[in-house]
Amino acid sequence: MSSALSSLALRSHGDGLHASINKEFMMKIQTLITALVLAASGAAFAQTTTATPRLDQRQANQEKRIEQGVASGQLNKREALRLEKREAKLEADKQTVKADGIVTVQERKQLNREASRDSKAVYRQKHDRQVAGVK
């Protein structure tokens, strides 16, 4: 493709100055095309990856919040178990989504919605009037 364009550019301008300018132009065009192809393939790869680093971090934060709530007495044993069960379901859903090797944008959104609901549940349970029994 580029050799055909180069020969066309050289044929249209017989003089050496124009040929060198056209070669530079053709090199810039080739570089631009290569960059666009690489960018497009990178974007396609990013959309089809199974990595979920943001969700993983959210889950780790949730676990810490639950542990902190138990330690401070804001969560009783029953509340903590219920929240842990929700977190386990989110993890199972994440593994199910990853099983086919592709986590789509729609699946990511669904997992994030589930994580948001779980986060709200942790907040509600930590800030209700129930407290763990003091021993």
- Distance between CA atoms of residues 54 and 39, nearest Å: 23
The per-residue pLDDT for range 72-107, each reduced to its tens digit, is 999 999 999 999 999 999 999 999 999 999 999 999
The per-residue pLDDT for range 110-132, each reduced to its tens digit, is 999 999 999 999 999 999 988 77
Say which residue the tokens 């053709």 belong to.
26
Range of lowest pLDDT (24-28, 44-48, 74-78, 79-83): 44-48
Measured CA distances, 133 to 47, 48, 67, 123 (Å): 48, 48, 16, 19
The per-residue pLDDT for range 49-76, each reduced to its tens digit, is 788 999 999 999 999 999 999 999 999 9
Residue scoring higher pLDDT (31 or 116): 116
Range of lowest pLDDT (1-10, 37-46, 86-95): 1-10
Per the structure block, which two tokens stand in for 32?
């631009």
Average confidence (pLDDT) over 14-31: 72
* Model confidence at 36: pLDDT above 70: yes
